[in-house]
Chains A and B, each alone.
Chain A
Amino acid sequence: MPEADIYATLGEIFRDVFLRDDIAVTPELTAKDVADWDSFKQIEIILAVESQYRIKFSTRELDSLQSVGDLARIIAGKV
């Protein structure tokens, strides 16, 4: 799957989760950059991604997440 498609889908998910359309979903984006991005929102994003792509993140993968770039790489490795 082309990387651009993954970022477009992540953009939609971020819009639904944060109810904002001004978040630029880039590989560098982290929780520190978005006001409401707390641990609950983190899980919400993960689960939305899981149900969108019908994949499941492992505990190690969750531990390794630092940025949207990490997230996109794990998705690309699974779909």
Chain B
Amino acid sequence: MSELYWFPEATDWRGRLRALAETTTGAWDQAVALANTRLDFVKTNALDSTIGKLFGGAPPKDLATKPIRLALLGSSTMGHLHAAIRVAGLRRGLWIDIYENDYGQYLQELSDPSSALHAFEPTTVLLALDAYHLAAGIGAHVSAAEADRLFAEITDRIRECWRLTRQNLHSPVIHQAALPLHPELLGNNEHRLPGSRQAFVARVNQELRAMADAEGVDLLSLDARVAADGLRVWHDPVLWHNGKQEISPLAAPLYGDLVGRVLAGKQGKSYKCLVLDLDNTLWGGIVGDDGLAGLVLGQGSATGEAFVAFQQYARELSRRGVILAVCSKNDEANAIEPFDEHPEMVLRRGDIASFVANWNHKPANLRAIADELNIGLDSLVFVDDNPFERNLVRETLPVVAVPEISDDPATYARTIADAGYFEAVSITDEDRDRSRQYQSNREREALKASTTDLGSYLRGLEMQLIWKRFDQVGLQRTVQLINKTNQFNLTTRRYSEEDIIALIQDKRAFGLQLRLIDRFGDNGIIGIVIGRMSGDDELLIDTWLMSCRVLGRQVEPTTLSLVAEAARRLGARRLIGDYLPTKKNRMVRDHYERLGFSVVETRADGGSRNILDLPAFEPASTFIEVREG
């Protein structure tokens, strides 16, 4: 299926598009809302062209994300895919500028420093070599040895493209697996014909996985999509002969969304939390009316098994780092009972990080869930079988993702997977530990409730702050935090992997990653600070961000002591801390003042510059033990 079927149909599409074209304020938000509807390729192109005219090719000034400059390097026509990629970015609050190489000239442009590609200065390169191109020279007449030689040649060329991208463009690479579009010659045992083009392309696609892992390249797995959707959705031989379009324009919205997912995933901007309704979403029936014994769940009926399969999918997601929450209109005791008592339940109470069951409006409850978990509303995916609740949430909280699901539980998992909400380019230890971390949080809250004074509570936590300079091992997590932290973030500067690698090598700068451990467990990396010398004796705090999970636990003053020490070693006598306001970081407006900095400049937009004299600075005493690790 090439449709973005998990989005709702746009109501009054033509009217809303016309209104957008004529709007003067709030155009970006209106456009994002339209991008989050079920767009086909004509609507996608129309929305893109309207945006292009509205913004004149430059991102809106107050955009909270770093604009992306994406170079498409390919061997077939890709011009019909640009609009869909830009719209997929828009859907995720990302501005994307696109460059495409002159037809077939990808290698020449990569090698030539005076090419338009170099002048474009891409922040990401998407390398898309089509199957006809990869299999050039291969044919049924070719011997096994010759096929092996051609295989080595093409994989070497791909590696060379990656190397040139890194070396000349300093940009990360996304590599697109080729569509399996050659008709077979043998059939089911095609792999036994050394010169089969179909088998050759499959072999290259297979090898790409190991190559990409070895070289830190991310993949766009179109071959996996073809397995799910069918080749006819993705490729139309009529259009290949007509205009050398490897990817059918009908599949462009889906293609664009796949690219958007990987770009957002690389920035750690994917959704984080799956919020589940209960009655007729996790089990069949209404627990308050039908009782525990009346629920349709588990062996005995196809419907009951479908609900079990959906619960299993949710549990698999949670085991790889997606947070699970429950939002249900129910009496709490009724809602909890199946989790504790029903023998066929896959999900248990401990799998749910935030459990909200009451009779309030769901939008209010979703806010409560986001607050409890200390994540943004824009991290939530809300699954509910009831169209009324879905529409209410969409209208009240447009940043929450609400998939259109059918009334058949057998389709729920596939729909959520196809929507790609939780796209991640890698899996970190933090991801694996996340559900345990949230469970520990509940235990911490319980300790807090049972301890009356804050000092003894903090002492009782037995906290250790473990600091380390930026390094290769922590690179992905560092970049993830830098690009997704919005609230406790003094400057909201976004950096790529390449930026951080440059920083590691800069002798007049430092980057600190901070991990917090307490008696309930490891909170993972919870803070990032980047300092850069400016002038002989001043150190500018370029970036200071923290996870909101650890607020109110004296991590800030403890971190300041570490920053002061690192700054002194570089010869600094003063720390300079800037607060650059955004829509989301008001909570840190007085951060530096609270830590004893003097405000030396206040700006009209609410921003400030603050200074701390290092010779006079006395580190605060806290309940946190500090060590390097």
A residues at B contact (CB < 8 Å): 13, 16-17, 19, 39-40, 43-44, 47-48, 51, 56-59, 62
Contacts and interface: CB of A to CB of B under 8 A. Distances in A.
B50 A40 contact: no
A17 B239 contact: no
Contacts of A39: 243
Contacts of B241: 59
Contacts of A47: 41-42, 249-250
A50 B137 CA distance: 35
In order of increasing CB-CB distance, the 8 nearest A-B pairs are A59-B238, A40-B80, A48-B42, A16-B42, A62-B242, A39-B243, A19-B46, A47-B249
B40 A43 contact: no
Interface in B210-262: 238-239, 241-243, 245, 249-250
Given A43-B80, A43-B243, A57 B238 contact: yes
B42 A44 contact: yes
Interface residues of B, number: 21
B42 A43 contact: no
A16 to B, nearest CB: 5
User: B interface, by DSSP: helix, strand, loop or mixed?
Assistant: helix
B355 to A, nearest CB: 44
Nearest to B53: A19
7 contacts: A17-B42, A17-B46, A43-B80, A43-B243, A47-B250, A56-B238, A62-B238
Contacts of A56: 238
Given A17-B42, A48-B42, A51-B40, A43 B239 contact: yes
Contacts of A43: 80, 239, 242-243, 245, 249
Contacts of A57: 238
B365 interface: no
A41 B337 CA distance: 58
B387 interface: no
Interface in B69-107: 79-80
A43 B243 CA distance: 9
Nearest to B13: A16
Nearest to B238: A59
Interface in B303-349: none
A54 B42 CA distance: 16
A25 to B, nearest CB: 16
Contacts of A16: 14, 42-43, 46
Contacts of A17: 42, 45-46
Nearest to A48: B42
A19 B14 CA distance: 10
A19 B50 contact: yes
Contacts of A48: 42
B242 A59 contact: yes
